[in-house]
């Protein structure tokens, strides 16, 4: 039997997520650039403003009217307008492809884990990472364990991990998952951070500064200067030599006189 979800700290929000598969899909859709527990509380906010949470109501609503509903404080997301449009598109997709029943994504035709993953990746607003996290959430907390589900979920399917919302079952595990994400983000920042970037930028700059010293024009000036110095030295030597010869000649002439 599926576990009762405890993702948000709000019993009413968690009950909606536990009872409505589409609400769970929407929660994970909102889970980006926003605290996890607030993202998964999004469906409850929508329900409070639409007199109940209904995929049909969402799909049939005017898009701009739905956006206005979602951005009312407290908004469903920090980027409320764009995420509201994604929620609306998700509702339309599930109605068109799964007869309005989100659970058909993992139930219709008794799909294996690879097929479930493929179907999730095709959802508006989902991608590879979200799809794998949802497979892990289904397997770990919803009792949906098709063949190969842990492999399809990747690292998110590891037993005892604290990587994603799939591992949140209490305030304590929520804190552990948040700490893991923070550390992972810091590691990624170090790998792509400014420490490496400027070194690559500075190297050409230094080379550019040194390069002018070796230009042909300057080299020519230096060569000409050296030549002039040598010529001057030779000239002085010649003058001295001539003076010495002249001196000897004058001496001889004096001796004769």
For 209-220, write each residue's pLDDT tens digit.
444 444 444 444
What the block records as the tokens of 224 is: 């000409």
DSSP structural state of residue 4: P
Q: What is the mean pLDDT of residues 10-25?
A: 98
- What pLDDT, on a 0 to 100 scale, did the predictor assign at position 212? 45
CB burial of residue 157 (10 Å; 0-12, 13-18, 19+) = buried
pLDDT at 1 exceeding the cut of 70: no
Q: How far apart are the first and last CA of the chain?
A: 139
pLDDT of residue 226: 52
The 10s digit of each residue's pLDDT in 57-97 is 999 999 999 999 999 999 999 999 999 999 999 999 999 99
The rounded percent of the chain whose pLDDT value lies above 70 is 74
User: Which residue's entry shows tokens 């206005």?
Assistant: 68
- pLDDT score at 132: 98
DSSP alpha helices (H): ranges in the chain?
11-19, 21-30, 36-39, 42-49, 55-60, 63-71, 80-98, 104-107, 113-121, 128-141, 149-153, 171-192, 197-210, 216-256
Mean pLDDT of 23-33: 97
Which among 139, 154, 151 has a CA at the least distance from the CA of 106? 139
Token pair recorded at residue 147: 């063949």
- Report d(CA 47, CA 53) in Å as an integer: 4
Q: What is the pLDDT of residue 128?
A: 97
Q: Is residue 168 pLDDT above 80, yes or no?
A: yes
In this predicted structure, the answer to whether residue 235 has a pLDDT above a threshold of 50 is no
- What is this structure's pTM? 0.74
- What is the pLDDT at residue 92? 98
- pLDDT band of residue 192 (cuts 50, 70, 90) is confident
């Amino acid at each position: 039997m599926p576990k009762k979800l405890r993702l948000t700290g709000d019993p009413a929000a968690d009950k909606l997520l536990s009872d409505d598969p589409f609400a769970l899909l929407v929660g994970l859709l909102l889970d980006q650039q926003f605290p996890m527990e607030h993202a998964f509380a999004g469906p409850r906010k929508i329900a409070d403003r639409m007199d109940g949470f209904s995929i049909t109501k969402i799909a049939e609503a005017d898009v701009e009217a739905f956006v206005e509903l979602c951005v009312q404080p407290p908004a469903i997301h920090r980027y409320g307008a764009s995420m509201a449009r994604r929620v609306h598109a998700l509702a339309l997709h599930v109605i068109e492809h799964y007869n309005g029943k989100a659970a058909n994504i993992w139930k219709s035709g008794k799909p294996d884990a690879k097929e479930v993953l493929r179907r999730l990746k095709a959802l508006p607003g989902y991608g590879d990472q979200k799809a794998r996290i949802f497979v892990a959430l289904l397997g770990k907390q919803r009792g949906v364990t098709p063949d190969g589900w842990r492999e399809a979920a990747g690292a998110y399917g590891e037993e005892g991990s604290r990587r994603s919302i799939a591992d949140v079952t209490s305030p304590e595990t929520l804190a552990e998952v948040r700490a893991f994400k923070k550390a992972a983000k810091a590691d990624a920042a170090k790998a792509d951070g400014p420490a490496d970037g400027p070194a690559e930028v500075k190297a050409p700059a230094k080379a550019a500064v040194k390069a002018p010293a070796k230009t042909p024009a300057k080299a020519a000036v230096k060569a000409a200067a050296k030549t002039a110095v040598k010529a001057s030295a030779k000239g002085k030597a010649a003058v001295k030599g001539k003076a010495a010869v002249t001196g000897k000649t004058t001496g001889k002439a004096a001796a004769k006189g």
